[in-house]
Amino acid sequence: MLSTVPTVLADVRYFEPWWIQILKGIVIFAVGLQLVPIVLLAERKLLGRFQQRYGPNRVGPFGAIQPLADILKLLTKEQFRPRTSIGWLFALAPIVSIITAVAAFAIIPFGNTVDIFGTRVGLYGVDVSIGPLYLFAFGAVAFYGIMLGGWASGSKYSFLGAMRAAAQLISYEVSQGLALIGVVMTAGTLSLTGIVEAQQGMWYIVPQAVGFIVFLVASFAETNRAPFDLVEADAELVGGYNTEYGGGRFASYFFAEYLNVLVVSGVVTTVFLGGWLLPFGIDPPTWVDPFVVLAKMSIFVLFFIWVRATLPRLRYDQLMSLGWKILLPLATLNALVTAILVVVTH
């Protein structure tokens, strides 16, 4: 039975043997899991500096194991739920969030196919033929994680947060998708490794600058990060959709949010910054590739933190205006102009 599956899946570019795929899954998940506390610490440290304080500095050297202490604290807490909540949905929602975040992490390519133990291994979870659509599909399911959590909590703050999430997701997913169309048309492929390969001469951040900006802004909204964090606006909604969550379930939501930040950084890196490619024709050995991707990703993670420390939160009507009246026309125009240019230059 297992021998037939790889041959079937070979058509869709799963050419590795099954044991490599399992190994790869574990390694990628482990890397994602390790990156989250690092992002967490970087965010708290940097936010501290931005606000002229030190940030965490008590646990471990320079506060370096503060995230671990936080996670341990959360995981050992009691699992409580409000009396008005709906039990099974309340428990299911964070799981949906975390599953979709991890699944989306699988498509980020950390390098091209390499030879390990005599077999060809792609340095990515999957290289699907539908590329970015895979990301959007899991983004769509991720919405249910937030929505169900907010609704099943049986509290008005959670509910309002979930409702905002619904409106925000619909508004910005469209711009995000349209912004990528320009890249897909220029590269002529949907495969993310193909898109990276197509950036050999020039990274797409130059010809697709508009698409890059629209995608980046929309990504802030999709990941519910400041200045679009109305979903969990703590000044008005206590904690938004996760108000009633505590302990391990809250940790799951938290983990999913930061993993989503990493996923978005990875996608921007892949699609607009040339993935594992280095500028000026520098061609390092293959083992450097994942570190190049991680370095580029960290630039965007730092940018996310910087923006959070700098910009105030948008009001709800401003969020909608920005999404529908500025980003969407810009993205459409970008796609149109790119289409014309592609046709003319071919």
Partner 1 sequence: MAELFFFIAGIGAIAGAVGVVTLRNPFYCVLALVSHLLSLAALFLLLRAEFVAAAQVIVYAGAVMVLYVFVVAYIGGGEQPALRPPVGRGQRMIAGLCTLGLFAELMVATLGSGLKAIDSEGAPYRPGFGSPAQIGELLLTKFLLPFELASFLLLIAAVGAVVLARRRGGVGEAGDERRMSALEFARGPAPLGVGSMAEAAGDIPGGVDAESSGSVSSTIGERGGW
**Chain residues 80-139 in contact with partner 1, contact rule CB under 8 A:** 128-130, 133-134, 136-137, 139
Query: Taking CB under 8 A as the rule, does residue 228 contact partner 1?
Result: no
Query: Taking CB under 8 A as the rule, does residue 321 contact partner 1?
Result: yes
DSSP character at residue 107: T
Q: CB of residue 177 vs partner 1: minimum separation in angstroms?
A: 8
Residues 6+ apart with CB under 8 A from 196: 109, 112, 270, 274, 275, 276, 277
Q: Are 155 and 146 in contact (CB under 8 A)?
A: no
Q: How far apart are CA 293 and CA 266, in angstroms?
A: 7
- Cα–Cα distances in angstroms (integers) from residue 124 to residues 37, 65, 68, 153, 294, in the given order: 21, 29, 27, 36, 13
Longest dimension (CA), the chain: 64
Query: Taking CB under 8 A as the rule, does residue 140 contact partner 1?
Result: yes
Q: How many residues bind partner 1 (CB under 8 A)?
A: 39
Query: Taking CB under 8 A as the rule, does residue 311 contact partner 1?
Result: no
Q: How far apart are CA 185 and CA 338, in angstroms?
A: 7
Q: How far apart are CA 302 and CA 246, in angstroms?
A: 27
Q: CB of residue 76 vs partner 1: minimum separation in angstroms?
A: 32
Taking CB under 8 A as the binding criterion, the range among 31-39, 156-164, 209-217, 267-275 that sits at the site for partner 1 is: 156-164
Query: Taking CB under 8 A as the rule, does residue 141 contact partner 1?
Result: yes
- Is the CB of 26 or the CB of 140 nearer to partner 1? 140
Unique residue bearing structure tokens 């570019």: 13
Query: Taking CB under 8 A as the rule, does residue 11 contact partner 1?
Result: yes
Residues of this chain that bind partner 1 (CB under 8 A): 1-2, 4-5, 8, 11-12, 128-130, 133-134, 136-137, 139-141, 143-144, 147-148, 151, 159, 162-163, 166-167, 169-170, 173, 190, 315, 317-318, 321-322, 325-326, 329
